[in-house]
Structure 1
Amino acid sequence: MKTQVLERSPGSTLTDAYVHRTDSRIEGLFPYHPQDERDWERRASYLDSRASERVDAIALAAVLENYNRRNGASAQTMEAISRVADGALVIVGGQQAGLWGGPLMILHKAVTVINAARDAQQRLRRPVVPVFWIAGEDHDWEEACHTYLPGEGGLQKLAIARPAGPRTSVSRTPVEQAIWTEQLGALATLLPDTLHKPGLIRQLEAMAARSVTLSELLASVLSWLFANEGLVLLDADDPELRRLESPMLQRMLVDNRQLEESFRSVSDDVEAWGYKLQAEAETDSANLFYYRKDVRAPGAGERTKLYRTEQGFADRRGLIRLSTAEAIAAAAAEPEQFSNNVLSRPMMQDYVLPVLATVLGPGEIGYWGITGRAFQVMGMEMPIVVPRMSFTLIDETTAKHMEKYALTIEDVMFRFEEFRDTWLAAQDRDQLGNQFDVAEQQMLALYDPLLKDVAARMPGLAALTAKNRELFSAHIAFMRRRVDDELKRKHEVSLNQLERIRLMLYPGGIPQERVLNFTLYWNKYGGDWLQQLLRIPFDPSGKHRLVYL
């Protein structure tokens, strides 16, 4: 396996300032840093001293066992859950669901969680369990319902239309089996026939058969891909889990104003320091959602944002009105009617789990910074924040073509069109182009004096002479374009190879890991490529790596 670190200069974002420790003001928002050896010991000691302030470990393990067993957990995962019951610490990361596992970055986050847990376990000489948190409470269907694969003519999108019903969470939105079958057929059509394809399609078919929602499908995919790694899964919208969260929900409602003030104070500071906010601390927001029941649509209710009012809590349309006492009582009796937003979720995660460290992407680190003082309001400490490791997978065909054209990953990312046009010009267009330039200059040198003489002697023809000159140049330009078109046809194979490089590495001008689906690589290599990623040592700096398959 060949890997190469893609060196990048630190940028000017809050995340860059945190990861590279370039701004002491930002460091003050995070009590720990993953590159400080002592912070791992400090965080572990802190968690040991606060065990009674979190969800009971045995009760948590029971919920995790039920959820993972339903979604095809391996014996290794069940053993990891038993260690949670015994008081093991966890490394946690999460992501919203995606069709057939979504973009590669979901797997990259799981790989980081697993490798970080393995590293921490060796570092601390005590059990540390990897946990993946499926953000099933999110209701942005358009972010979760699709995936992409390369196909004839470019990038191909597979997507499921939102089923009829209220705008509820992804984990409460059922998908009919006929839709899974249709989507699996579309996927099979896009994937080339290989030795691994029949087994892959059978696995996905079995997963879809036992999945009612996109969240369950992702859980099945992760359970299968990481069966040997002891990765524990949970769904943020699991009703059993929400019942464990009830005491923290009640605290968030009681201390709601202080929470919002803490978010806003940090947001104001971050903006004053010159950083762009990754999440808005909205005025009077409760930073919680409520599932509004509707008698016309029994079942899952619409996930509705709550705001604080003088009387308690309500939505903007006035369809939900709860006094503070009513809201607290509802959180105690029916906690599954509530869910977190991006700013309250970090504290809930820390209440539910003994989080040694949390693995976050660049945008997530940005909004977690806003929660630093909110942790303090809740009498908690933010865990170690670990930047997600990221990878660009380079298959052997792409690598061969990059070598053929002396194309670097930076060329693909930052100057592809310029590189392609320069390469094409270098083939033989320069020589012909120069000849057209010389010919046009020489002919106009003879023709222009004649046109000027005609215009001077016959003023009525002045406009015609100007138009005639334009037509002359237009005919030259037309011939040049035809030559260029013929040149492109002549080099069509090479241009297609260049476009394929971009499609595989930076599709649509977006990093590969945010677009392409894992099935592309499993179909070609089986599970070897994923094992390569799992063998890469944990890197707390989150550097980006090129991985040659």
Structure 2
Amino acid sequence: MNVIPEALRSGSPLAEHYLRYDEAIHHLYEYDFRDAGSYAARAEWLDRTEDTRVDRQDIVRFLRSYNRRLNSHPAVMESIERLAQPNALVISGGQQSGLFTGSLLVIYKAATIIKAAREAEMKLNRPVVPVFWIAGEDHDWDEVDHTYMMTADLNITKVRMPGRYDGRASVSLVSVDRENWLEAIHKLEELLPDTEFKPGLISDIKAAVQDDNLSLSDVFAKMMGQLFGSYGLVLLDSADPELRALEVPIFERMIEDNDALERCYHESAGHVVTSGFGMQAEVTADCANIFYIHEGSRLLLHKENGKFIDRRGYVSFTKTELIDILKQHPERFSNNVLTRPLMQDSLLPVLSTVLGHAEIAYWALTKEAFHRFGLRMPILQPRMSFTILDQHIQKLMDKYDLSFHDIQYAFNDKKDTWLSTLDEFNMNEQFELLKTSFHKLYAPVLEQLNQIEPGLGRLGVTNSSKIEEQISYMQLRTKQAIAQRHDASVKQWDTLDLTLFPMKRPQERVYNVYGYLNRYGTRWLTDLMNIPADLSGHHHILYL
């Protein structure tokens, strides 16, 4: 496995500036992730503020309980015991639970958390524990109930959890029948080609769904444990009721100080916009940035006439009433994207948190809220980013003289240029000449038709358009016929496109890890974990 740096479009100018940590964004963040001094400064601040977070031993007891149930590898339990030490710190990061772990970026984020924890421990000479935060409180079922595989016949196939859930409950609170799990596994098994690794992989996945009525988050945790438990990766589900009980004081502060927090989010949003960047997440006027669970539905609370309400009119509470409910039923409360960072840092001694580009961008909205809460934004560590490229794909790129940059930015143009070389009769050029000649010959006719009768002129324009349309149609059909004569080569181009940029998106945002584990075995993951850590946030090609 060779690793080569290669640029990848991020879609976030703010995140690109953050990777360089240039002057334009200094005031939006707390630390420069590239500076070793940032880690020492952050660790010193965490030591001084230990008593401002939830009691460390309470968090450790929760993590023991949760991980014993779903992620009980000895290395994980050892990590939790290390976290109990008063000088232990955390590298955190998280993602929504996804079917069969979701897309490859989840794997890369977990790997980054582990590698960043190792690096920080060596820099600081003190325990640093990797913690993966499962965003099980999110309620968008359609975002997590599927994953994508590429089939042998070059189709991108969506594997979806059978059945449908139309409610707004947190994903971790939605139980899935074992029969539905087995049906989804059967679909995955059908799609995976037969290899020496396939039986073991399917067996492991089935082992993760042995119990009845497991949620997507439960199985996600078990599968992540199978992949990363041996590296000591500690898991945490943000929707776990046991964790909610520990979060009561933090939610109470969020409710008591809600107006000031809202002003902080708007102030940070203003800083982002005046720095020349677009809004990174929605900062809505009078939004409480807290969800309330009502009869199984996760409702975003807003403020109106001194009360906390939802837009649908289901609930309405005074501040005092909401705090009373919080103390009796903490499981009814949930964070949104702007308050989750505050919750994470109120629970854990977070040295740095691993984020994707979009997350780095919207975290810029939280700096003032951190300060209001008596916290500091942690070091934001960009996650590692990869495209897997094997020998077969590299040979095709060499054959057609294509670079990764070409496929990312100019694939269609390069393909059209190549197709034009197959046109031995210069048919495309002849069709273009035909269209130009026809337009030139018909123009004076149209002018004369208008002089005879305006209606004839309008009919002539319609007639001209139809003829030009038919010429273009013949041009396209001729192009397709030429391509069909070279069908094997065209499929090779399609293979390049679908392998590296499926659905016109980076590979890591689409394909599931089990397609690669099935082809290369778990050694692929071992090799990924053993390559030298590059925590610069830049994209790399994994040559296999």
TM-score, normalised by the number of residues in structure 2: 0.91
Partner of 1:251: 253
Q: What pairs with 1:423-442 in structure 2 (closer than 5 Å)? A: 423-429=418-424, 431=426, 433=428
Note the residue ranges of structure 1 that are not aligned, 5 or more in a row.
294-300
C-alpha separation in 2, matches of 1:338 and 1:470: 61
Deviation per CA, 1:51-82: give whole Å up to 9, x if none: 11112222111111111111132100110000
C-alpha separation in 2, matches of 1:467 and 1:190: 50
C-alpha separation in 2, matches of 1:417 and 1:3: 27
C-alpha separation in 2, matches of 1:171 and 1:33: 35
Partner of 2:51: 52
Q: What pairs with 1:204-353 in structure 2 (closer than 5 Å)? A: 204-210=205-211, 212-293=214-295, 301-353=296-348
The one-letter code matched in structure 2 to 1:35 is R
Shift of 1:17: 2.2
CA RMSD of aligned residues (A): 3.0
Shift of 1:196: 0.7
C-alpha separation in 2, matches of 1:409 and 1:193: 29
C-alpha separation in 1, matches of 2:540 and 2:472: 45
C-alpha separation in 1, matches of 2:76 and 2:215: 22
The one-letter code matched in structure 2 to 1:121 is E
CA distance 1:431–1:125, shift in 2 (3 Å):
same
Matched, 1:5 2:14: no
SS at match of 2:229: coil
Shift of 1:271: 1.7
CA distance 1:499–1:323, shift in 2 (3 Å):
same
Q: What pairs with 1:476-487 in structure 2 (closer than 5 Å)? A: 483-487=478-482
Partner of 1:67: 66
Partner of 1:177: 178
Shift of 1:536: 3.1
The one-letter code matched in structure 1 to 2:389 is I
Partner of 1:33: 32
C-alpha separation in 1, matches of 2:5 and 2:156: 27
Shift of 1:287: 0.6
SS at match of 2:422: helix
Partner of 2:142: 142
Shift of 1:292: 0.6
Shift of 1:425: 1.2
SS at match of 2:148: strand
Partner of 1:187: 188
Shift of 1:208: 2.2
The one-letter code matched in structure 2 to 1:188 is E
Shift of 1:498: 0.9
Shift of 1:16: 2.0
Deviation per CA, 1:16-40: give whole Å up to 9, x if none: 222212234x211212111111110
Contact 2:154/2:498 (8 A) holds in 1: no
Deviation per CA, 1:388-413: give whole Å up to 9, x if none: 11111112222222222122111221
The one-letter code matched in structure 2 to 1:20 is R
The one-letter code matched in structure 2 to 1:257 is D
CA distance 1:382–1:424, shift in 2 (3 Å):
same
Deviation per CA, 1:198-224: give whole Å up to 9, x if none: 111111111122371111111111101
Q: What pairs with 1:97-176 in structure 2 (closer than 5 Å)? A: 97-151=97-151, 152=153, 154-160=155-161, 163-164=164-165, 166-176=167-177
Shift of 1:534: 1.5
C-alpha separation in 2, matches of 1:468 and 1:338: 66
Shift of 1:502: 1.0
Contact 1:149/1:156 (8 A) holds in 2: yes
Deviation per CA, 1:317-361: give whole Å up to 9, x if none: 332122211211222222111000000000100011110000011
The one-letter code matched in structure 2 to 1:502 is D
Deviation per CA, 1:513-549: give whole Å up to 9, x if none: 1110001100000112222322233333201001011
Q: What pairs with 1:448-463 in structure 2 (closer than 5 Å)? A: none
C-alpha separation in 2, matches of 1:413 and 1:161: 34
CA distance 1:290–1:490, shift in 2 (3 Å):
same
Partner of 1:297: none
SS at match of 2:245: helix
Shift of 1:312: 3.2
Contact 1:13/1:276 (8 A) holds in 2: no
Partner of 1:296: none
Shift of 1:138: 0.4
C-alpha separation in 1, matches of 2:34 and 2:541: 22
C-alpha separation in 1, matches of 2:465 and 2:318: 77
The one-letter code matched in structure 1 to 2:200 is G
C-alpha separation in 2, matches of 1:474 and 1:173: 53
Contact 1:34/1:540 (8 A) holds in 2: no
CA distance 1:477–1:176, shift in 2 (3 Å):
closer
Shift of 1:487: 1.8
Counting aligned pairs with the same residue, the percent is 41
Matched, 1:542 2:537: yes
Contact 2:100/2:223 (8 A) holds in 1: yes
Partner of 1:378: 373
Candidates 490, 505, 514, aligned match of 1:510: 505
Shift of 1:481: 5.3
Higher mean alpha-carbon deviation, 219-228 vs 479-488, is at 479-488
Partner of 1:94: 94
C-alpha separation in 2, matches of 1:21 and 1:420: 37
Structure ID, larger Rg: 1
Matched, 1:357 2:352: yes
C-alpha separation in 1, matches of 2:148 and 2:275: 38
Higher mean alpha-carbon deviation, 258-267 vs 54-63, is at 54-63
Partner of 1:404: 399
CA distance 1:49–1:399, shift in 2 (3 Å):
same
C-alpha separation in 2, matches of 1:81 and 1:545: 32
Number of aligned residues: 532
Shift of 1:5: 0.5
CA distance 1:144–1:433, shift in 2 (3 Å):
closer
CA distance 1:535–1:325, shift in 2 (3 Å):
same
Higher mean alpha-carbon deviation, 425-434 vs 141-150, is at 425-434
The one-letter code matched in structure 1 to 2:321 is E
Matched, 1:497 2:499: no
Partner of 2:412: 417
SS at match of 1:314: strand
CA distance 1:487–1:240, shift in 2 (3 Å):
same
Deviation per CA, 1:116-152: give whole Å up to 9, x if none: 0000000001110100000000001111111001123
SS at match of 1:28: helix
TM-score, normalised by the number of residues in structure 1: 0.90
C-alpha separation in 2, matches of 1:184 and 1:390: 27
CA distance 1:494–1:347, shift in 2 (3 Å):
same
The one-letter code matched in structure 1 to 2:189 is A
C-alpha separation in 1, matches of 2:412 and 2:239: 44
Contact 1:6/1:545 (8 A) holds in 2: yes
Shift of 1:479: 6.8
The one-letter code matched in structure 1 to 2:368 is R
C-alpha separation in 2, matches of 1:89 and 1:374: 22
The one-letter code matched in structure 2 to 1:176 is D
Contact 1:389/1:542 (8 A) holds in 2: yes
Contact 2:71/2:235 (8 A) holds in 1: no
CA distance 1:470–1:31, shift in 2 (3 Å):
closer
Partner of 2:526: 531
Note the residue ranges of structure 2 that are not aligned, 5 or more in a row.
none
The one-letter code matched in structure 1 to 2:536 is S
